[in-house]
Amino acid sequence: MSRAMLGVRPEVVEDVAVRALPRRPLAWPMRVVVVSAIALMAGGLAALADRVELLVLVVVVAAVIIAALIVFGHRAWQRGRSIDLMIEAVNSVVRASAPTRDLVTVSRWRGGWIGAPQRIVIRYPGDLVDSDLKFAETLVVQVSNRMGIAYRVKKNDARRCLITLTADPAAPEPVVDPDQSRLESVLSVIIPGVSVDEFVRDNADNLQRTILHWPPTSTSRVSKTIWQKQAVDAVRSSVVAPNAAQLTIDWDLTADRGTVRPLTPLPDVLPHPPRDDDNPMKIAFGHFRDGTPCVWDLDAPLPHLLIVGGTGGGKTVLLLSILTALPTGMRRDAFGRWVRDPDMPMAEIWPIDPKRLGLFNLGLLPGAKPAATREAAIVTYILKVKKLMDDRYEYLERNGPHLRSTLDPLVLAVDEGEEMADMLNEWWKSGGGKADWCQRMGLEKAPTGSIHPVMTAFGSILRLGREARVHVILASQQAAASWLSTSSRSQFAVRIALRNLEQSTSMMTFGSLVATAGLENKPGRAWVSPGMGIPPEHAQIFWTPKLAQGLGDEDRAIMHALGITLPDDPDFVPQDDVVQVPTEHGETEDVAETSGEEDAGRPHLYAVEDSTPIEEENVRSFELSVSELDVGMSILVDVDGEGVIATVESIDVDLEDQDYLILTYLTEDGEKGEVAVPDDEQVTILLPE
């Protein structure tokens, strides 16, 4: 049990957070009282001496002095108030241990009755790295923004730890946006010493760009996810602009700066572009916000692709976008006509569609088989792809692995993977699947278990397909461990989530909660991670029409640009390599190539069910950083040496140690508790499947 779970904090020395300066006192009232007392005594003496003229003189002089004290004293107080915000900013930059006015000295006031100081002398601690250019730059920006006029460094006396700023008459006076001051004030609580500049708006009052700077001492704090989230929320709530809800921050920790900008809008519809003859193995299926294409590289080390999304989310459209862009062994000639080229790769596509109509007419694609929709046909396709993979391994073993590049891609595409697994398992439990399996394998008795053995072959394809150029596209509502093992799920390099996901689905897909919010609820929107370890980003998926007759001119042009002719095209030619799909009971002649004596004597295939880490039904556990927790999440807490399920009620920063967070939780028994945990510590969260 960790010290954090016991509530024991390590003894560390941390800087005390700089708070607001105390209210500046009025000095002139006391001086007026003193002058009045002196005048009263002088007047009394003059009266005793019967010197009336002297008494009048005392009264007149005292009145003039008191008036001057009130007027100039109040002006001095107003000047002091005008620089207090600047002093607070300086205290934060120089890491003052407590709020103080003693570090700043101002002089040479000019510009109106109150004006502004032309010379500012700042004393900083000796342990501060004053040679860092970012220190002086941050100090100048903070002072200039708070005072409303431009300053520059006149002298930096490193020996005495003094830096002198002087007003820069050549620089234009900065125009401070009202939201800029408010945003800087709010962000300074989250990021100590932060300054806000370059507050740029367009003609519609939308915020286009804002630059944040912070001292190097705050960089470690800014690197934490929890502070980045709070900063983005602060920007969206503090800025008054039509596009405030679309603002985000690009963090540059090496330069100690952040750029506030609006999210680049994505198009609502993005038609599938023509086929790329120069890069047939790089399949583009959409665009990120910055305009770069989303690419599935078939030559990548992990060659498989995972698609996750709810019903109606667009999984089938995305599948069609990818499948229609696979290499077809064709290219355009000089006249723009599609011709076969033996030097071009040609993908062999084996589609599985338990929905039956999602991948209808896929046989129109060169190299594509008709979709397998029934149990026997699905088993046939998986076993066939497994055998082709094994044959390719034997070929490479005999002739050398250098010939891998000569192999054409072989793609097993599964629409609704979870439905496929449930369908096969139900068929297995009913007895029909066992009879079919015994016939295929030449067995007298079917293997035991509740999972269809072909799922082991499916897992083998995922783990071993790379070297044989065998690829899997798996689309499902969620990649739960109940049907897809963790080792199999880890084989997918490219991962796509259509629309925002639930917490458990986001954890299983991307290993974090990043895909739970922030994406517009529009058709074709997706979270896309183009490779292992790459955080997912927003993207718009290409629109690809279904392979059907009666398409409009625009949709038909999309298909023609991909080299696909439709049945109602004048130049339509049926594919020569179309094969018959087995029926529900496998009663077609073409099934013989994967059944009968060819598979006799093959080893039995058994599926191993994943074990869940906790005993709760329909609940999965994950490890998550404390800084990513949200109120309402279920976590495991240590109570008297036992793990207890609790709900997070609040998350607050520990004022005594800002690297710690205070979690307040409520157990299932109704007992409240509080614990201090480092913000980077991993805790166990429980999410329903």
- Residue ranges for the known binding site are 309-316
- Cα 136 to its chain centre, rounded Å, is 33
CA dist list (Å): 317 to 200, 524, 569, 579: 39, 8, 22, 24
- CA 671 to chain CA centroid, Å, is 34
User: 417-430 vs 454-464: helix axis angle to the nearest 10?
Assistant: 150
Cβ-based neighbour number of residue 607 at 10 Å:
22
Helix (H, G, I), strand (E, B) or coil at 678: strand
> Exposure pattern of 315-341 as b/e (b: 16+ CB <10 Å)?
bbbbbbbbbbbbbbbbbeeeeeebeee
CB 161 within 8 A of CB 107: no
Give the count of beta carbons closer than 10 Å to the beta carbon of residue 362: 22
**Distance from the first to the final alpha carbon of the chain:** 28
d(CA 657, CA 676): 10
What DSSP letter does each residue of 156-193 carry, written as one string? EETTTTEEEEEE-TTSPPP---HHHHHHHHHHHHHSTT
Q: Which two tokens stand for residue 348?
A: 């062999």
Burial of 119 (0-12, 13-18, 19+ CB in 10 A): middle
Give the list of residues 6+ apart from residue 471 with CB closer than 8 angstroms, or none. 298, 303, 304, 305, 409, 410, 411, 412, 465
Q: Which residue type sits at 210?
A: T
Query: CA torsion, points 426, 432, 433, 438, in degrees to nearest 10?
Result: 160
Q: How far is CA 366 from CA 530, 576, 660, in A?
A: 26, 9, 59
User: What length does the chain have?
Assistant: 689
Residue type, 20: A
CB count in 10 Å sphere of residue 347: 24
Binding residues for ATP, as ranges, are: 309-316
Helix (H, G, I), strand (E, B) or coil at 326: coil
